[in-house]
Structure 1
Amino acid sequence: MPLVAHIDLPTFQRLREEGEEIVDLERAKHQDIRELHIGLLNMMPDPALEATERQFFRLVGACNQIVQFHVHPFTIEGLPRGEKAQAHIDKYYQSFAQIKAQGLDALIISGANVTRPRLPEEDFWQPLMEVVSWAKENVTSVLCSCLATHAVIQYCYGIERTRLPAKRWGVFSHRLTNKNHPLVAEINTRFDVPHSRFNEIFQSDMERQGLKVLAVSQEAGAHLAVSPDGFRLVFFQGHPEYDDISLLKEYKREVMNFYRGDRPDYPPFPEHYFNAEAQQLFADYALHVREAKMTGIDLLEFPEALVLEHLDNTWSDTAKAVFNNWLGKIYQITHQDTRIPFMDGIDPKNPLGL
């Protein structure tokens, strides 16, 4: 069922233009369909703030459960913001106090950029942990993405992430390690997921603390895991929400960082992402960038438009299926009062009866 445009967020219009079905609030009021209220704690930096909204809203809207989806974006203190992004947040985002008062059926926590060696040193750590502490008691299920996964696992289970020798960057093949868990019901046993991170929590460390790992990559490590109860906390180390151009945008940013002198080396290609034609285009452009940097000639435009036809999205169908399973289970066990996480008779320590 579609998303409900319950606020005047520009993301709704953008998704309409992409062909997504969005229901306005007045029409939704006349439909006798149950609502699910999902929080989106968006911690992404300014350039990715609105794109992250669209990506997660799109995954929620693709769910085929018979329910009206109300997604509530909010953020926390401790994240540096520019004037434009702050204005967007002030106009369209709710406060955490409002979120707590109304309650949620589900919560998505995005990744974030870090600036300190250890996560508890980040300015956003304490505000984030306040959200997590509340959600663990009051929300049916919390889905964490990338940095949020690392932060929540450290907070809840004491596992610190490990710095990798090089950035884990690209699109990697994964396989299911538990085909019977409801979150992965009827999805492909092998599927792709994009990753973009410098750190990792290893499968062995997760399992040592009782987490259940559901999908792993031989190259990229554990991607999908759940808390020992099987459902209250869901962890992504990758980025299944990414658009087909997300890694391209990151590559462009790194190329420009090299040109400006903000990184010493020319960035490698994201792994398993660019085909041979795209790699040749970017190899030629790399020669030009180096020449422009050395000689001062004008830098030609980044050849983004030329490679779009060479990009394939090999992960979104699986991402949509996992989200559909996640929201479907929430629909089955959450209380109709958003301030109460479970309907009567559901055991919070084993909500899916696994």
Structure 2
Amino acid sequence: MPIKIPDTLPAFQTLVHEGVRVMTETVAIRQDIRPLQIGLLNLMPNKIKTEVQMARLVGASPLQVELSLVRVGGHKAKNTSEDHLLAFYETWDEVKHRKFDGFIITGAPVEALDFEDVTYWGEMKQILDWTVTNVHSTLNVCWGAMAAIYHFHGVPKHPLAEKAFGVYRHHNRKPSSVYLNGFSDDFQIPVSRWTEVRAEDIARVPELEILMESDETGVCLVQEKAGNRLYIFNHVEYDSTSLADEYFRDVNAGVPIKMPKNYFPHNDPSITPQNRWRSHAHLLFGNWINEIYQTTPYAVESIGTGG
């Protein structure tokens, strides 16, 4: 079944053009089914692009999913119009009374800062604590993953000597994991970050288990079974041209940046890169949605109550 999003959301037409099935409120209410409630806390500057990336993967599920867009209230977006935010987003304060089957927390362009120096860190801590009682399963991405694993377990992020930037080979460290059903032993994922979380720090926390790892860029995906949380530090959700967009943005701004590794054919930035991670992105999100469906309470109000 398709994903349910407002038909005036810019992502709607993009997803329809790509063949992702979407539905309007009118169609959704005809189906005698409880849709999975998935929230997206979007911390990225280009919120519309991130909406499309995440909705594309969530919407590929055969289950009916209702996606709610959420933003922090203590931060003013500079790259997304206020009209768009008012039309399609709610602040966390406006949704904190609700329960969600799944909740995605995106990355944010603040990884050079200490967590405590991020202007909305106080609200982030409240949101992370709220997910314990109001969310059945949380998927934390890039900086969102670093923030969550630091908040819950004190696992630090470490600065890199140079940006990890490109498409890197990764290894399946736990083929029996429900989240890695159908995964190859070896696959490729985009990476774009200035910091890392290290395997030796994660090993000190018994509740955490590494599911994906790269020889070159380290830890990628971590599972916390008891907390029903996933932490992914790389970008399976990226479009084919996302790394190119970042590269040309910095080149045009005169910011020193190396060409993304293993990305442009023949290392020629004039050639359109090929997407070599799309199938595994769909697998990961599909497995996550399926696991939510298999384990979440039938009554969404029961989430967090043990009912």
User: TM-score when scaled to structure 2?
Assistant: 0.94
Whichever structure has more helix as a proportion of its residues is: 1
Rounded Cα–Cα distance in structure 1 between residues aligned with 2:94 and 2:7: 14
Runs of 4+ in 1 over 4 A off after TM superposition: 342-345
Q: CA deviation at 1:228?
A: 4.6
1:62 aligns with 2:60: yes
Rounded Cα–Cα distance in structure 2 between residues aligned with 1:94 and 1:78: 12
1:11 aligns with 2:11: yes
Tell me the equivalent position of 1:173.
169
Q: Which runs of 5+ in 1 are unaligned?
A: 283-305, 346-354
1:135 aligns with 2:131: yes
Rounded Cα–Cα distance in structure 1 between residues aligned with 2:229 and 2:57: 18
Rounded Cα–Cα distance in structure 1 between residues aligned with 2:79 and 2:42: 17
Tell me the equivalent position of 1:290.
none
SS of the equivalent of 1:196 reads strand
Q: 1:76 to 1:344 in 2, by over 3 A?
A: closer
1:115-155 Cα shifts (integer Å, max 9, x gaps): 76311111121111111100112211100000011111111
1:165-195 Cα shifts (integer Å, max 9, x gaps): 1000000110111111111112112111101
Q: 1:37 to 1:76 in 2, by over 3 A?
A: same
1:282-323 Cα shifts (integer Å, max 9, x gaps): 4xxxxxxxxxxxxxxxxxxxxxxx533xx1111111111111
Whichever structure has more strand as a proportion of its residues is: 2
SS of the equivalent of 2:248 reads helix
SS of the equivalent of 1:212 reads strand
Tell me the equivalent position of 2:259.
269
Does the 8 Å CA contact 1:335/1:342 hold for their aligned counterparts? no
Rounded Cα–Cα distance in structure 2 between residues aligned with 1:202 and 1:17: 40
Tell me the equivalent position of 1:331.
293
Tell me the equivalent position of 1:221.
218
Q: 1:91 to 1:6 in 2, by over 3 A?
A: closer
Q: Which runs of 5+ in 2 are unaligned?
A: none
Does the 8 Å CA contact 1:115/1:122 hold for their aligned counterparts? no
Matches within 5 A, 1:1-354: 1-6=1-6, 8-45=8-45, 48-64=46-62, 67-82=63-78, 84-114=80-110, 117-210=113-206, 211-229=208-226, 232-258=228-254, 263=255, 265=256, 267-276=257-266, 279-280=267-268, 282=269, 307-308=271-272, 311-341=273-303
- Aligned-residue RMSD, C-alpha: 1.8
1:24-56 Cα shifts (integer Å, max 9, x gaps): 1111111223310100000001xx211100000
Q: CA deviation at 1:248?
A: 0.7
Rounded Cα–Cα distance in structure 1 between residues aligned with 2:60 and 2:301: 25
| Greater C-alpha Rg | 1
Does the 8 Å CA contact 1:333/1:343 hold for their aligned counterparts? no
Paired AA for residue 325 in structure 1: N
Bigger shift: residues 93-102 or 217-226: 93-102
Does the 8 Å CA contact 1:335/1:343 hold for their aligned counterparts? no
Q: CA deviation at 1:271?
A: 0.6
Does the 8 Å CA contact 1:251/1:269 hold for their aligned counterparts? yes
1:220-266 Cα shifts (integer Å, max 9, x gaps): 1110111152x6110101000000010010011011111xxxx3x3x
1:302-354 Cα shifts (integer Å, max 9, x gaps): xxxx533xx11111111111111111111111113323226967xxxxxxxxx
